[in-house]
Structure 1
Amino acid sequence: MTSTHTLTHSYYSAFYAEKGFRFLEQIAKEYTLPENLIVFSVMHCYEGSLPYLNVLCQLADRVVFIPKQATFCNNSALLSTIESIENCEIADSAFDKIALRDPTRCIELIREHTREGQDFLILDHGGYFASGAETVLEAFGQQCVGITELTANGVAKYRNRHLMKPLVSVAHLSIKTPADFEASECIVHYTDQILREAFGLKLNNLGFLTIGVIGSGNLGRGVCKTLQGKGIHELYVNDQDPRQLTAMPRNGIQVCTTETMLEKCNLIFCCTGNGALHTSHLQNRQGNLFIATVTSADDELNLPELIESGTLTYIGGNSLVKEYKNQLGASIYLLAGGESANTPFKTGMGDPTLYLFEAAHLLAGLQLATQNHSYASGIQALSVQDEIFIAEQWLRYFYNYR
């Protein structure tokens, strides 16, 4: 059966699109959303988002698509395809991640797309609404049915905020692990590609590059494993939680402080999602430094503040590399412009693990909209039973599990 939905932007991306769409449709089939519900969905501007977006638009009265800037900048042509999806609206580009840090801009966005008294749901990705969450819930307490968050760094931005509504996190589910390791593999692969294209370097150029990894969660461990698979044996790792580091030495990885890493390494993978490197780390740097991130330079380095304070000065660049200099004249090269190192490259549907976390995010939103009474206010995770349900359905659809 061929779908009539807009599942791909180009013919070459069609490999898993239909299968992913049917899987997500199956996850959602027991749920009927309330009439006139508006869904605000922060998403990557990837072709891999299209099956998910189509299912969401079938369920909601309208979906307001808020593209994440990293992939929007490199895939803006995809917006015309997204605009063709029935019941889908694209938020004005002025409502980007930086703008939404201002609570009044969050209010403006919601008022622009809802009628007075109309219910809405926020499916967040990376804590875009975190700074404005308390203001939004105070202004629209009766209308907002809740918030979901996809990423660990996004959840961290919501912590210590007074949330009068439930926020369901799918960031730490075990079924998200395969996609995290897939992402870490891609980030290493594309970092290597960027270095080759822009500098004529390879990751395993012994004598030219010494590599460190800050953060040893799923993404950090995945980066380390993939680097070792490329024959890189001199590898340094740090984490703010020493417990995370105890397994590293037995795997042939040197544990160290961030300061030691900066002395030893000239390529650092930032895998924390939340402040891997600080002003002091970069303003005193004397040698050139390459940085690859798993989220963005705003999250990992607080780049806007570094520029505003004069710690870093922008020199130039393109989608592959942006160069900054510190006051000592050292060049800081942000690979992929400071975004996740696989964002300059096309992402299709060939990896079905992406549908695991999309299904979890979708299911969390559906439950908030239809079973709001079963959730308390504040941050909580999707249930183990729901996670098992998603895993079983996924194994059936993609791997004939019975």
Structure 2
Amino acid sequence: MLANSAKIEAYFSHLVSHLGSDQEVHCVAVAHMVPNTMFFAPALNKLTKLSGILAKPKSVGRPEFEKLQEMFNVPSLSRDWAKDSERVVRTLFDLGLSGKSVVLVDIGGYFAPALNAIVEKFDGQILGVLEGTENGVQKYEANLPYTVPVVTVARSPLKLPEDYLVASSVVFSVEAILRDQAEILQTRTAAVIGYGRVGSSLADILRGRGINTVVFDTDPVKLAEAAARGFQANTRLEDALAHSSLVVCATGRRALDLRGFGMLQSGCVVASVTSADDEFDLGCLQPGYNREQVAPNMMRYDENRRTGRHFFLVAEGNAANFVHGAVIGPAIQLIEGEKLKAIRALIDGSFGPAEAALHELDIEARREVAEIWIEHFL
């Protein structure tokens, strides 16, 4: 572990040296409180001045939160806060950023609804936004156009190894939680809801473990791909859920609401690859279901109509792999490196406003990052 830590630190030092630091530019970053952030945040602070870390709400109880709080300003983060441009600008002022140049680093599209208003009300300069996740990209795309650049790494080829390893770590965590209940994964049949980059990897991994796996997606192109790869591809959610005792959701777009939860088999285990507020409408369950914590990372929901029907929710609906720290190895540093490269491009003014689409780095920029990663990890 120590040797790997040294490699990661050397990689980020090399990359920042290659990109060039600019301490006149400030950064405010949304971040998960996980082990990798302990490396990425200092690297971001070397590239820019990291003036604030906005901790993802579901991760504030982790030990990394306290450590990062000792190193950086950590204001509170919520969806309601991010939608209120006046509150966001007030926080920027509280961080001492009045009149400064600022890059916003986002995970999950927090600033998407109010970005133009934030830019207008802030008395400094918002140089742009970096978004790192697919569900965040979808939120920004839904609110185009923007008056400042929005660049994303979510669809980069450098993220493919991370997407596969995220899927692997989700399966690992679900299996570990089931084993704590004296059950093995292979006793269940699975449905993967959402056949994107993580979802397709989930389906492959589950099938590779000998688990009968079906797929549902609202996109006909993705369903056609799933069918071509030999999966039972369902055009209706109810068909995917009908015979599945394990459901893993990877859409980032409210995969299950009251109707969807009502379709689950009794005894089904439900897990997610992202945060609960993105993947589920859990508020809809309050009137009709009773909750009971049956294990540290397992919640049981019972219909209160005395039907006996129930289901289990892993990690309160948040990303299952965060139960074990979301550790996926050095591959994640590829996309973290591309994030730093993209931030440098925002500082350099390489992009125009995000009008018709979000911006991405070109293949040459990605190749630079990959070459440095190879030098340190291969």
TM-score (structure 2 length as normaliser)? 0.90
> For the structure 1 residues 393 and 284, does the alpha-carbon distance in structure 2 shift closer, same or farther, using more than 3 Å as the test?
closer
Q: CA offset at residue 217 of structure 1?
A: 1.6
> For the structure 1 residues 286 and 395, does the alpha-carbon distance in structure 2 shift closer, same or farther, using more than 3 Å as the test?
closer
Query: Does residue 351 in structure 1 map to residue 324 in structure 2?
Result: no
Tell me which amino acid in the other structure corresponds to 1:332: F
SS in 2 for 1:128: coil
Task: Tell me whether 375-384 or 148-157 shows the greater mean CA deviation.
Answer: 375-384
Unaligned runs of 5+ in 1: 1-12
Q: Deviations over 1:338-389 (max 9, x none)?
A: 11111111355x71101011111111112112x1154333421122221121
Q: CA offset at residue 192 of structure 1?
A: 0.8
Tell me which amino acid in the other structure corresponds to 1:237: V
Q: CA offset at residue 121 of structure 1?
A: 1.0
User: In the alignment, which residue of structure 1 is the partner of 2:147?
Assistant: 164
Query: Does residue 91 in structure 1 map to residue 75 in structure 2?
Result: yes
Percent of residue pairs identical: 24
User: In the alignment, which residue of structure 1 is the partner of 2:318?
Assistant: 339
Tell me which amino acid in the other structure corresponds to 1:112: D
> For the structure 1 residues 35 and 354, does the alpha-carbon distance in structure 2 shift closer, same or farther, using more than 3 Å as the test?
closer
Q: Distance in 1 between matches of 2:171 and 2:97?
A: 45
Q: CA offset at residue 175 of structure 1?
A: 0.8
Query: Does residue 123 in structure 1 map to residue 101 in structure 2?
Result: no
Q: Retained in 1: the 8 A contact 2:100–2:124?
A: no
> For the structure 1 residues 109 and 318, does the alpha-carbon distance in structure 2 shift closer, same or farther, using more than 3 Å as the test?
farther
> For the structure 1 residues 285 and 115, does the alpha-carbon distance in structure 2 shift closer, same or farther, using more than 3 Å as the test?
closer
> For the structure 1 residues 120 and 284, does the alpha-carbon distance in structure 2 shift closer, same or farther, using more than 3 Å as the test?
same
Runs of 4 or more off by more than 4 Å in structure 1?
32-35, 326-329
Q: Distance in 1 between matches of 2:124 and 2:20?
A: 20
Tell me which amino acid in the other structure corresponds to 1:324: Y
Q: Distance in 2 between matches of 1:170 and 1:31?
A: 17
> For the structure 1 residues 16 and 214, does the alpha-carbon distance in structure 2 shift closer, same or farther, using more than 3 Å as the test?
same
Q: Distance in 1 between matches of 2:350 and 2:213?
A: 49
The count of aligned residue pairs is 372
SS in 2 for 1:343: helix
Q: Distance in 2 between matches of 1:99 and 1:200?
A: 42
User: In the alignment, which residue of structure 2 is the partner of 1:56?
Assistant: 44
Q: Distance in 2 between matches of 1:219 and 1:179?
A: 9
User: In the alignment, which residue of structure 1 is the partner of 2:65?
Assistant: 79
Q: CA offset at residue 96 of structure 1?
A: 3.2
Matches within 5 A, 1:2-401: 13-73=1-61, 75=62, 77-85=63-71, 88-92=72-76, 95-97=77-79, 99-140=81-122, 142-161=124-143, 162-197=145-180, 199-205=181-187, 209-232=188-211, 234-256=212-234, 257-283=236-262, 285=264, 287-304=266-283, 306-307=284-285, 310=287, 312-316=289-293, 319-326=296-303, 328=305, 330-348=309-327, 351-369=329-347, 371-378=348-355, 379-399=358-378
> For the structure 1 residues 283 and 46, does the alpha-carbon distance in structure 2 shift closer, same or farther, using more than 3 Å as the test?
same
User: In the alignment, which residue of structure 2 is the partner of 1:10?
Assistant: none
Q: CA RMSD for the aligned pairs?
A: 2.4
Unaligned runs of 5+ in 2: none
> For the structure 1 residues 35 and 190, does the alpha-carbon distance in structure 2 shift closer, same or farther, using more than 3 Å as the test?
closer
